[in-house]
């Protein structure tokens, strides 16, 4: 007798529903305060980093953009992803947080391209789901998988609401584990050795 594990498509549906229910039930003040501060352990891990890539949260996603002001106050260059095509390609553009954003693919938005894309030292990625083994469940397009592979020395940080935790996320051979997962209630650090930041 074998215990069939849910596939990623099923897990995405479950995690999205959990996220939606959780955010709908969240106290409005608690929602507004969530993810505004960079936790001290994460700040320490980012100490030598220059460029930190965040994202603009869509719908019920954990809103990474709320950390932008503190990251800038810490002396970091903040970047946002720009989706380049429908095949999983994206790059990162510097975001002067007072600058306008322009619409991108899949309802995303990114800074007006000025200068060349940047190479992030830290990539903060949205999660559909996650587990305690530091596996991430993304949207399924492979954009962050490719970004992690292109920037192998970048610190990989996932952001999600705590309700998006799953017992076990199936990991494919190309999936790179996260170094840190940040939720509204805790910071989960992986067992992997810390990579020095340039």
34-55 pLDDT, tens digit per residue, is 999 999 999 999 999 999 999 9
Structure confidence at residue 139 (pLDDT): 86
Tens-digit pLDDT profile for residues 141-197: 889 999 999 999 999 999 999 999 999 999 888 888 999 999 999 999 987 545 444
Give the chain's mean pLDDT: 90
Q: Is 162 within the bounds of a domain?
A: yes
CATH number at residue 161: 3.40.50.10420
58-62, 89-93, 115-119, 123-127 — most confident range: 123-127
Q: Is 105 within the bounds of a domain?
A: yes
Nearest alpha carbon to residue 165 among 136, 198, 141:
136
Q: Which domain holds residue 123?
A: 8-189
- Could you tell me where the DSSP H helices lie in 34-186? 40-45, 68-73, 143-150
Q: Is 2 within the bounds of a domain?
A: no
Structure confidence at residue 5 (pLDDT): 66
Q: Is 175 within the bounds of a domain?
A: yes
Task: Taking residues 84-110, report their average pLDDT.
Answer: 84
Structure confidence at residue 154 (pLDDT): 97
Counting Cα atoms < 13 Å in the Cβ hemisphere of 153 gives 10
Q: Is 195 within the bounds of a domain?
A: no
- Total structural domains in the chain? 1
| Residue percentage of the chain with pLDDT more than 90 | 70
Q: Is 1 within the bounds of a domain?
A: no
């Amino acid at each position: 007798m074998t215990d069939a594990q849910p596939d990623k498509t099923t897990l995405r549906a479950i995690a999205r529903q959990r996220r939606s229910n959780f955010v709908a039930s969240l106290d409005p003040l608690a929602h507004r305060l969530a993810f505004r501060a960079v936790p001290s352990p994460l700040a320490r891990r980012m100490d030598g980093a220059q460029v930190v890539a965040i994202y603009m949260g869509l719908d019920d996603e954990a809103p990474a953009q709320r950390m932008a002001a503190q990251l800038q106050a810490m002396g970091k260059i903040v970047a946002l992803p720009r989706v380049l095509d429908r095949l999983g390609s994206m790059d990162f553009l510097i975001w002067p947080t007072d600058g306008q954003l322009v619409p991108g693919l899949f309802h995303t938005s990114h800074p007006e391209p000025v200068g060349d894309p940047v190479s992030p030292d830290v990539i903060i990625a949205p999660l559909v789901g996650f587990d305690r083994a530091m596996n991430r469940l993304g949207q399924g397009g492979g954009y962050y998988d490719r970004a992690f592979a292109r920037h192998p020395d970048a610190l990989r940080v996932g952001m999600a609401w705590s309700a998006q935790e799953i017992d076990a996320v199936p990991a494919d051979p190309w999936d790179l584990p996260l170094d840190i997962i940040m939720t509204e209630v805790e910071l989960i650090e992986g067992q992997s050795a810390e990579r020095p930041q340039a």
